[in-house]
Amino acid sequence: MSQKIAHILYLAASRLPSRHANSIQVAHMLHALCHHAHQVTAVLPATWRGLWAWGRGHLFAPYGLSLPANLRLRLRSLLHPSRFETVAPRRLPQADLIFTRSAPAALALAAGQTPVVFESHDPARDEAKVGISRLVAALHHDRCGLVAISTAVAQVYRDAGLPAERVFVAPDAVDRERFSQARGGGIARLFGPQSRPIVLYCGSLQPGKGARFLARIAPLLPEASVAIVGGSPEESAAIATAHPATNLLLHPAIPHAEVPDLLADATVLVLPYTGTDRIAAAMSPLKLFEALASGIPLVAADLPVLREVLTPDTAFFFPPGDGPACATAIHTALQLSAAERAAWRARASAAAWSWQDRTQAILGWWQGH
């Protein structure tokens, strides 16, 4: 059990509120950190939407979270958002620990006297912004450390010379309580009543995430409705035009707070990553932990970074990009009996760690390293 910290300063270049994964992660980490500190100060980019939401006390509402009483907010660079990572590290309040997702901020702040923990999700981006060798040199101080979102990210920094004891691997997490209380009804709200089993992907429509791949194989799954929820209205409409399957359902992204009820209606969830995007080797997808927390049978592309969390007891795997193999895995998942689905739910739920678990583990490591 980590000791409660007097003041944590959290700095990230993520705009709140937003439907993007980095903002979802930041909101949940801030909320969890507030349970482990007497005060948390968040330094984030200013947006008109964020200022309005903060003023009305709704900044965390899209994530299904309350606004912690011990959270203070500093929004910066409203008129010059591209300068945030340059401006944000200046004139910061005194704190006992600085936690940041910004490589430029970590590099600038590690030279000070306050301990700095840098969380890395994308080493290639860190390299482009500041250079990993410079960052490793800055984090060599005893008071500093690195939280890596995956083992692959940790290995990049270890290979660059950061001592192993300064590196802690912490995959993403999930709000387990919200998923345990999911009531369902999400599919019907978006698409109306459905008579067939639901094969669902909920997430980004960016290339490499696999939404278009799943749309292409919908005709191989005539016994089910294949639902894809995510992206902008234009992105969703483009997939509908390109893949006019009669059993394909598409809807733009929904507020993150509504995701638990949507996933609860699925018969099978799919993580159809193709393995072709830049961060495929380093990612720790939020939707992976949401799928586990939902307890719905999961079909996943067989990528090493997903194998860090998933096992054959918690996912049916298929080779990335192999449409027939993916369809076969989905067919198998659809045929699970009620007893097998109940056992699956127990195994999957146990494998999903919470944001509180994640925060506790990170702070316990930092206080003991």
DSSP state of 236: H
Tens digit of each residue's pLDDT (9 = 90 or more) over 140-196: 888 899 999 999 999 999 999 999 999 999 999 999 999 999 999 999 999 999 999
What is the reported pLDDT for 14? 93
Residue 206 amino acid letter: Q
What is the reported pLDDT for 201? 98
What is the reported pLDDT for 20? 87
Percent of the chain with pLDDT over 90: 85
Residue 202's pLDDT band (cuts 50, 70, 90): very high
Strands (E), 129-211: 145-148, 167-169, 198-202
Q: Which of 118, 261, 247 is nearest to 194 (CA)?
A: 247
Q: Which of 138, 134, 132 is nearest to 115 (CA)?
A: 138
CA distance 251 to 258: 13
What is the reported pLDDT for 361? 96
The answer to whether domain 5-173+354-368 and domain 178-351 are alike in fold is yes
- The tokens describing 95, both together, are 């704190």
Burial-class residue 269 by CB neighbours within 10 Å (0-12, 13-18, 19+).
buried
Tens digit of each residue's pLDDT (9 = 90 or more) over 5-63: 999 999 999 999 988 889 999 999 999 999 999 999 999 999 999 999 998 989 999 99
Residue 207's pLDDT band (cuts 50, 70, 90): confident
Percent of the chain with pLDDT over 70: 99
Q: Which of 270, 303, 304 is nearest to 288 (CA)?
A: 270
- The tokens describing 65, both together, are 């979270």
DSSP reduced 3-state for 133: helix
What is the reported pLDDT for 275? 84
- The tokens describing 148, both together, are 């890596």
DSSP reduced 3-state for 71: strand
Residue 279's pLDDT band (cuts 50, 70, 90): confident
End-to-end alpha carbon distance in the chain: 14
To which residue do tokens 């409203």 refer?
78
Q: Which of 301, 230, 202 is nearest to 238 (CA)?
A: 230
Residue 2's pLDDT band (cuts 50, 70, 90): low
Tens digit of each residue's pLDDT (9 = 90 or more) over 75-84: 998 888 889 9
CA distance 303 to 192: 34
What is the reported pLDDT for 354? 94
CB 7 within 8 A of CB 39: yes
How would DSSP label each residue in 183-199? ---HHHHHH---SS-EE
CB 280 within 8 A of CB 273: yes
Q: Which of 369, 354, 360, 366 is nearest to 98 (CA)?
A: 366
What are the structural domain ranges in the chain? 5-173+354-368, 178-351
CB 296 within 8 A of CB 269: yes
Residue 1's pLDDT band (cuts 50, 70, 90): low
Tens digit of each residue's pLDDT (9 = 90 or more) over 333-363: 999 999 999 999 999 988 889 999 999 999 9
Domain 5-173+354-368 is found in CATH 3.40.50.2000:
yes
Predicted TM-score (pTM) of the model is: 0.92
Q: Which CATH number fits domain 178-351: 3.40.50.2000, 3.40.50.1100, 1.10.10.410, 3.30.70.890?
A: 3.40.50.2000
CA distance 226 to 222: 9
What is the reported pLDDT for 107? 95
Q: How many helices (H) and strands (E) does the chain have?
A: 17, 13
Tens digit of each residue's pLDDT (9 = 90 or more) over 101-146: 999 999 999 989 999 999 999 999 999 999 999 999 999 888 899 9
- The tokens describing 162, both together, are 């950061």
* Res 369 pLDDT > 70: no
What is the reported pLDDT for 174? 95
Average pLDDT over residues 202-230: 95
CA distance 192 to 186: 9
What is the reported pLDDT for 45? 94
